[in-house]
Structure 1
């Protein structure tokens, strides 16, 4: 009886979400605020691509304001795929995905001398062949903010509900993209919310929520499927490889007690050392850049909405309440959506062997067996395709996350997959 009650409660929750989305369609004009950005401090001259930034209010009273960066495809925006991209964490800004992974800009990594860090073009941006919405999610991430402390509290399922609202409202304001093929994508911790979001969008389409989203599938890079098992081995492994100092490792063990992946931990000292573990010099440049007043004006950031911008904010009021995402992969496999799961084969945070194991446990037959895939005649990784339209690929030499280490190879992989070509 308890199990039946739980299932019924979950059913009611989904029905309430769908009802809310239907109500929100009646007043979309108050939810959206977007501006074109033609120049960015640190970049010489006008931007050679189309950038829009803005906020989308979600929730019944729009108490959550999700900030986004939208880059229009540099090829054929009328027909190219539209990708909704989530950076991991949870709590890592979409700007990190844009400037360190798959977007059209990179920081010029040079010694910081007090001046504004410089931006340069990324020749391997995925926006060469797709339009991408980079969204700061969950609330409290990057430039996204809540209007009160209750709204600032989030979890896996709240994040998904808010992202679903976000996408519907964004498409209502950008009707020219409604017919484009749409993919939901992300990396790292996004391996948890992305499959849940894909399922919710699919359910919304089946329930008649408009605009109907032309959902084609999803992409995940170095994805978490079970946070504890994926994450707790990373720091000891990094120490064993000599990648972090004995002093930092001992501090992490002492303050965190072996649990390095708790996001809503009240142990501030542990979180401080975890943040130190994940920061590097290139990442620090983004903090100097995003906290500059001229940068915030250029991005049209609302004054007083947040304090200091952080690339990854670990002190979110966030509860990771989804046990994992495997069951959602199972469900989506029956619906015929395409999926690409890729892993850097040098990733110590979410090792590819674990990812390969859960994909294998889906127990779908193989239609294209294990083989190398190449870029300009060189082996770029290995791949296998299954009968449920899922492709798994490793990226040779890629870490966490793969596009940071192997941008050319990952761009080629993405371009081939979205073009329905073999890797």
Structure 2
């Protein structure tokens, strides 16, 4: 045992209260032994370790010893990391086509990002997924508290997994998780600067269709709908004039504006996850703690959660003086988080355009468009992704190029 491992071991003895981990070799719904290395567990956070955060960890399917470690934050707040694992970037997926209401079958996802990275999926904040608190007060959370809890989680997780301490670390997230990502990144920087152990090899972060500043991101929904010919010129002009270009959180006394706006909703079908995660045999297989969560939900919207940070643009301005890589991507047909929002706030940072707007291709087809920005040794890549699942695999290769 070298001195680094010894140091990690001694710190682990100090931080080990409430933590647990299990290697999962098989899961209900999947035929045979899992073809991936899956681990689940709990990490205790909070002043008195009263909050127990549940996680799913999947090792890289390529070379876990050298591939980057990605800490992934699902949106919400209050959505389980299982959602990202089985519906988005993880190696497993439910067989939705043949789902009949019983326990769904699990398939391999050929486009998984675990082909190029080790990924931690977390149920955050406490009260999400299988995460729970030992006290009623422990369920109270906020943006600032969550960022600190997630940093504590990472410290403890790395101490329990010292082989990954030297791996390049990236923090990533989607939707509301995009708001927490820069905040967690800042906690990592401050912790490293303060000499806290373990020192993390932090390289940058990734945000997909994320929330940065609602006044910019959400405000672009109406202009995007008009650009995509989803609303008429007359409707758009009426809303533009009545709302004075301010479509998000409009003045409640401006009745003309309120009448001009229409609600924008995105239908979703996540029934398979509810059936699967609430099955007792699944919870036994995942080694969840019996009795701590009685009714698993993909997104818990009844959390007591304070959104105490409105915009994280200030973090980007601080990071622009550091040598980091940042990747911001949006689906070009995502109306909930339209790509026009990030383009607007990125350009407000007054960075130098390093690579002009251009298409990026997969097998001779345009998979999206990208533009790169630079300030000193800070690089920010923005990319749109065509609304085709086949491009996700190739986009994961783009992630690899960005993180190398």
- Bucket of the pairwise TM-score, normalised by the shorter protein: 0.7 to 0.9
Match in the other structure for 2:242: none
1:230/1:54 CA distance change after superposition, 3 Å: same
Matched, 1:416 2:398: no
Distance (whole Å) between structure 2 residues aligned to residue 211 and residue 320 of structure 1: 29
Matched, 1:177 2:177: no
Matched, 1:142 2:129: yes
Match in the other structure for 2:24: 37
Matched, 1:390 2:377: no
Match in the other structure for 1:407: 392
Q: Deviations over 1:99-153 (max 9, x none)?
A: 1111000111135433201110001111111100001111111111111221101
Segment of structure 1 superposing worse, 27-36 or 39-48? 27-36
Q: What is the DSSP-based 3-state SS (H/G/I as helix, E as strand, rest coil) of the residue aligned with 1:80?
A: coil
Instruction: Give 1:380 shift.
Output: 0.6
For the Cα contact (< 8 Å) 2:216–2:345, is it kept in 1? no
Distance (whole Å) between structure 2 residues aligned to residue 105 and residue 198 of structure 1: 27
Q: What is the DSSP-based 3-state SS (H/G/I as helix, E as strand, rest coil) of the residue aligned with 1:102?
A: coil
Distance (whole Å) between structure 2 residues aligned to residue 348 and residue 369 of structure 1: 25
1:278/1:311 CA distance change after superposition, 3 Å: farther
Distance (whole Å) between structure 1 residues aligned to residue 398 and residue 167 of structure 2: 20
RMSD: 2.5
Match in the other structure for 1:291: 278
Aligned residues: 363
For the Cα contact (< 8 Å) 1:88–1:186, is it kept in 2? yes
For the Cα contact (< 8 Å) 1:343–1:393, is it kept in 2? yes
For the Cα contact (< 8 Å) 2:170–2:206, is it kept in 1? yes
Matched, 1:315 2:305: no
1:356/1:237 CA distance change after superposition, 3 Å: closer
For the Cα contact (< 8 Å) 1:230–1:349, is it kept in 2? no
Q: What is the DSSP-based 3-state SS (H/G/I as helix, E as strand, rest coil) of the residue aligned with 2:276?
A: helix
Q: What is the DSSP-based 3-state SS (H/G/I as helix, E as strand, rest coil) of the residue aligned with 1:192?
A: helix
Matched, 1:68 2:55: yes
Mapping for residues 320-339 of structure 1, pairs under 5 Å? 320-339=307-326
Q: Which runs of 5+ in 2 are unaligned?
A: 1-9, 232-246, 251-262
Distance (whole Å) between structure 2 residues aligned to residue 236 and residue 385 of structure 1: 24
1:223/1:405 CA distance change after superposition, 3 Å: farther
For the Cα contact (< 8 Å) 1:101–1:407, is it kept in 2? no
Distance (whole Å) between structure 1 residues aligned to residue 219 and residue 75 of structure 2: 16
1:351/1:212 CA distance change after superposition, 3 Å: same
Q: What is the DSSP-based 3-state SS (H/G/I as helix, E as strand, rest coil) of the residue aligned with 1:301?
A: coil
Segment of structure 1 superposing worse, 379-388 or 172-181? 379-388
For the Cα contact (< 8 Å) 1:191–1:325, is it kept in 2? no
Q: What is the DSSP-based 3-state SS (H/G/I as helix, E as strand, rest coil) of the residue aligned with 1:385?
A: strand
Instruction: Give 1:226 shift.
Output: 1.9
| Bigger proportion of residues as helix | 1
Distance (whole Å) between structure 2 residues aligned to residue 157 and residue 24 of structure 1: 25
Instruction: Give 1:418 shift.
Output: 2.1
Instruction: Give 1:277 shift.
Output: 5.2
Instruction: Give 1:233 shift.
Output: 7.0
Q: Which runs of 5+ in 1 are unaligned?
A: 1-22, 243-257, 262-273, 399-403
Matched, 1:355 2:342: yes
Mapping for residues 181-330 of structure 1, pairs under 5 Å? 181-227=168-214, 229-231=216-218, 241=230, 280-281=268-269, 283-330=270-317
Distance (whole Å) between structure 2 residues aligned to residue 236 and residue 78 of structure 1: 45
For the Cα contact (< 8 Å) 1:138–1:154, is it kept in 2? yes
Distance (whole Å) between structure 2 residues aligned to residue 305 and residue 59 of structure 1: 17
Distance (whole Å) between structure 1 residues aligned to residue 80 and residue 349 of structure 2: 32
